[in-house]
Amino acid sequence: MPYARATHLTRRGLLAAGGALGLGAALAACGDDKGKGSGSGKDAKVGKSGPWSFKDDRGTPVKLDRAPANIVAFTGVGAALYDYGIEVKGVFGPTTTKDGKADVQAGDMDVSKLTVLGNAWGQFNIEKYASLAPDVLITTMFDNAGTLWYVPDESKKKIAQLAPSVGISVYDRQLTQPLQRMWDLAESLGADMKAVKVTDAKKRFEAAAARLRAAAKAKPGLKVMAGSASDQLFYVSGTNLSVDLEYFKALGVNFVEPPQSAKKQGGGWYESLSWENVDKYHADIIMMDDRSSTIQPADITKATWKKLPAVKAGQVIARSPEPILSYDKCVPLLTGLAEALEKAKKVG
């Protein structure tokens, strides 16, 4: 779970959104929720005609007369679908950085051509959403309650009135499961899953997984810590809920595991440490949250951080706590950790 969402733990109960004239009545009920963003997306590239249906991870079947053409998605979901040849009309969630460049969660999408309904937590422009005449909204879920990621609680009912939703769970399961679910979703939307680019990416993922398993087996004594930085706190993730860490652990990687009691404030996801106590756990390799909402290793100025053995040894790598769920984008997550294990030495 994203550490940067710590301030929203209580609010979410979890934690670390053309046809405007015809939709007038719905828009009147929706009010004036505002989000930032500009540009226009392209129609989804779909290759199927006739009725469309998909059962999401809430067990909810979505049925339409035709495959969705006007898709709106959480940014990372849009990026995953893009890798399979499906383009979305609009996105919500981290899409552009302060300098206007593509956020890490935008993947290979051309952000200048996307309609952005909200670029930060709590932002979701309902009026702009309605103007896209959405066929479906797609996002991930970080709990078992069916909470749609980055869809604001205060406006979720209004948003739900405009189009059905699909939720892909990334809660308490290994990475391969949501990867397959995204594959199934893309296929249902008309993606060519036999395209060389797609099949090659899956083969590269499988090879990268084998490499990581071998690297972990070769150096079982190396301890890896998954961390994230804010100005006031350092967060240490446990592996039991995160799709990437659960999978890496299953491949044999030896992780720092904060006790469950220490993760209570973090909803079971992570332990919060003051920077004075950042050396609580020994780690030979540190994986740091790569999202733009967190402080990156090069920008951490805390003396206690710089004294950590893994930091002094240069054994700090990036981690994507919200991985883009395409095989192409997940290959670097595996190879990066495998390479770190292969090169790392026991420190401390």
Instruction: Name the average pLDDT for the chain.
Output: 88
In angstroms, the CA 345 to CA 137 distance is 46
Query: Reduced to 3 states, what is the DSSP secondary structure of residue 167?
Result: strand
- DSSP structure class, residue 101: P
CA-CA-CA-CA dihedral for 9, 4, 58, 106, to nearest 10: 160
Q: Which pLDDT belongs to residue 265?
A: 83
Q: Which pLDDT belongs to residue 48?
A: 57
Q: What is the pTM of this model?
A: 0.87
Ordered alpha helix ranges (H), the chain: 9-12, 24-30, 75-83, 126-131, 156-160, 176-188, 196-218, 243-250, 303-306, 309-312, 327-343
In angstroms, the CA 275 to CA 29 distance is 46
Please write the tens of the pLDDT for every residue from 204-257. Answer: 999 999 999 999 999 999 999 999 999 999 999 999 999 999 999 999 999 999
Indicate the helix (H) or strand (E) that contains 61: strand 61-64
Please write the tens of the pLDDT for every residue from 66-86. Answer: 999 999 999 999 999 999 999
In angstroms, the CA 79 to CA 87 distance is 8
Residue with tokens 């951080």: 305
What angle do the packed helices 75-83 and 327-343 form, to 10 degrees?
A: 100
Please write the tens of the pLDDT for every residue from 114-160. Answer: 999 999 999 999 999 999 999 999 999 999 999 999 999 999 999 99
Take residue 111 and report the two structure tokens written for it: 């952000």
